[in-house]
């Protein structure tokens, strides 16, 4: 069986996913949704997409009448995900949505409910859950090879360019670096430690209020406490380069990933030595596995569904609240 996918949003990441999907056996790009007719034309000729599988943002609800599309992959600016995912669900198609799934937990909850009601699957593009070195560290931890987990450090950031881009527009991005890149440290803290945090504290620093306007965070540091006693310390920034590192320390060993969440190759090292698992194109493996999850019609064992993404949104809500109030925020995930 093959999952027939339409991509919504033909921007830079959509393009990367389309390229990567060419190597998939179980997922095939068959349709597009875009507001730009010239892009649709290019994609049609490049990927052999028939006219009847091309939609725009006004008419894509009619996808419900198209038996040749099984799922839509939403790869648009963050603020659009909520309404677009709900419209796809109402059209009766499975949804894969890019991270962050939405701008806050309330939106995320509504998306989950809409997909449940429509009896369609909702998955979120957390590609690191398919990355071999990451999975090896999770395996080592699960099998007790690292012993009791004590501390995680997650550093995620880059120096963002063009001040006019949607990522620096609160209306479209929903926030700043935390929504975009800090979410990797949030999700990473959860999968590296293997527990859900019970509290968070956070501090924001802004050196350039001209570029990073009200509601768009430049740099946030945040800390988590976990039920087993582990703590985490994370940094999310749009104004520091070469920040792409995870470090886990435990009673019997350590694990380090650097780079940890870039497109790869990921590099990993533990107390036992270098991790030598070969590089995979993240988006290819992700789409192959997600096709399996959707087609097998069983609940995902890989933690990339809407409920898992909602936990990250609850944490994001709490981090912004912690920044605003200066208080320690308790979490119930
Ligand atoms: P991008 O700006 O390159 O592409 C966004 C696309 O959305 C563009 O083609 C644009 O034309 C379209 N669009 C539709 N409606 C729009 C509107 N009202 N305003 C602006 N653009 C509109 O951005 P991107 O880097 O492709 O990011 C898209 C999504 O993918 C984001 O949610 C981002 O977080 C996510 N992303 C995920 C990864 C990952 O590794 N998982 C990497 C990059 C981006």
308 touches 97 (CB < 8 A):
no
Burial class (CB in 10 A: 0-12, 13-18, 19+), 297: exposed
Residue 70, pLDDT score: 98
Residue 219, pLDDT score: 98
pLDDT in tens, 52-62: 999 999 999 99
pLDDT in tens, 4-34: 999 999 999 999 999 999 999 999 999 999 9
pLDDT in tens, 203-220: 999 999 999 999 999 999
Secondary structure class of 50 (helix, strand, coil): coil
Q: How far is the CA of 160 from the centre of ligand 1 (A)?
A: 15
Residue 90, pLDDT score: 98
Residue 298, pLDDT score: 67
Q: Tokens standing for 118? A: 């429509």
Among 7, 8, 10, 13, say which to mutate for ligand 1: greatest number of ligand atoms within 8 Å of CB: 13
| Ligand 1 atom, smallest distance to 14 CA | 26
Q: How large is the C-alpha radius of gyration of the chain?
A: 20
What are the φ and ψ backbone dihedral angles of 220, each rounded to 5 degrees?
A: -130, 135
175 touches 103 (CB < 8 A):
yes
Q: Can you list the residues of the chain whose pLDDT is less than 70?
A: 298-300
The catalytic residues are: 99, 184
Residue 301, pLDDT score: 78
184 touches 157 (CB < 8 A):
no
d(CA 181, CA 156): 6
Ligand 1: residues within 6 Å at CB? 9-14, 35, 75-78, 80, 98-99, 125, 127, 166, 172, 180
What is the H or E stretch that residue 224 is in?
strand 219-225
Helices 306-325, 105-118: inter-axial angle, 10-degree rounding: 170
Residue 299, pLDDT score: 62
Q: What's the ipTM?
A: 0.99
What is the H or E stretch that residue 40 is in?
helix 37-47
For the chain, list the domains and their CATH numbers.
Answer: 3-127 (3.40.50.720), 128-279+305-330 (3.30.360.10)
d(CA 168, CA 176): 6
Write down the pTM of the prediction. Answer: 0.98
Q: How far is the CA of 218 from the centre of ligand 1 (A)?
A: 19
Residue 300, pLDDT score: 60
Residue with the smallest CA separation from ligand 1 atom 1 is 11
Q: How far is the CA of 259 from the centre of ligand 1 (A)?
A: 23
Residue 43, pLDDT score: 98
| Ligand 1 atom, smallest distance to 127 CA | 41
| Ligand 1 atom, smallest distance to 12 CA | 3
Q: Tokens standing for 143? A: 């099998």
Q: How far is the CA of 326 from the centre of ligand 1 (A)?
A: 32
Question: What are the start-end ranges of the E strands in 34-85?
Answer: 54-55, 71-74
């Amino acid at each position: 069986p093959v999952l027939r996918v339409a991509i919504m949003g033909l921007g830079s990441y959509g393009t990367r996913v389309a390229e990567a999907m060419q190597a998939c056996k179980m997922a095939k790009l068959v349709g597009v949704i875009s507001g730009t007719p010239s892009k649709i034309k290019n994609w049609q000729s490049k990927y052999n997409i028939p006219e009847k599988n091309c939609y725009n943002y006004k008419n894509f609800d009619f996808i419900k009448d198209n038996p040749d599309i099984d799922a839509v992959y939403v790869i648009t600016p963050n603020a659009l995900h909520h309404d677009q995912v709900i419209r796809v669900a109402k059209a009766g198609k499975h949804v894969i949505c890019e991270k962050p799934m939405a701008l806050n937990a309330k939106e995320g909850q509504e998306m989950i409910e809409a997909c449940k009601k429509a009896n369609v699957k909702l998955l979120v593009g957390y590609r690191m859950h398919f990355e071999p070195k990451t999975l090896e560290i999770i395996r080592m931890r699960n099998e007790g090879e690292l012993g009791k987990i004590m501390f995680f450090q997650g550093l995620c950031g880059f120096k963002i360019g063009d001040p006019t881009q949607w990522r620096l527009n609160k209306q479209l991005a929903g926030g700043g670096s935390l929504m975009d890149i800090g979410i990797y440290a949030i999700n990473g803290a959860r999968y590296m430690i293997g527990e859900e945090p019970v509290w968070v504290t956070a501090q924001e620093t802004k050196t350039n209020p001209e570029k990073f306007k009200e509601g768009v965070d430049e740099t946030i540091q945040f800390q988590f406490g976990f039920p087993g006693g582990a703590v985490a310390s994370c940094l999310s920034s749009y104004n520091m380069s070469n920040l792409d590192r995870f470090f886990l320390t435990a009673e019997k060993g350590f694990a380090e990933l650097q780079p940890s969440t870039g497109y790869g190759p990921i590099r990993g090292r533990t107390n036992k030595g270098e991790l030598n698992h070969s590089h995979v194109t993240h988006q290819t493996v992700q789409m192959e596995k997600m096709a399996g999850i959707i087609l097998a019609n069983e609940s995902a064992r890989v933690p990339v569904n809407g409920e898992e993404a909602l936990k990250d949104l609850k944490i994001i809500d709490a981090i912004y609240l912690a920044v605003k109030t200066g208080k320690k925020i308790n979490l119930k995930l």
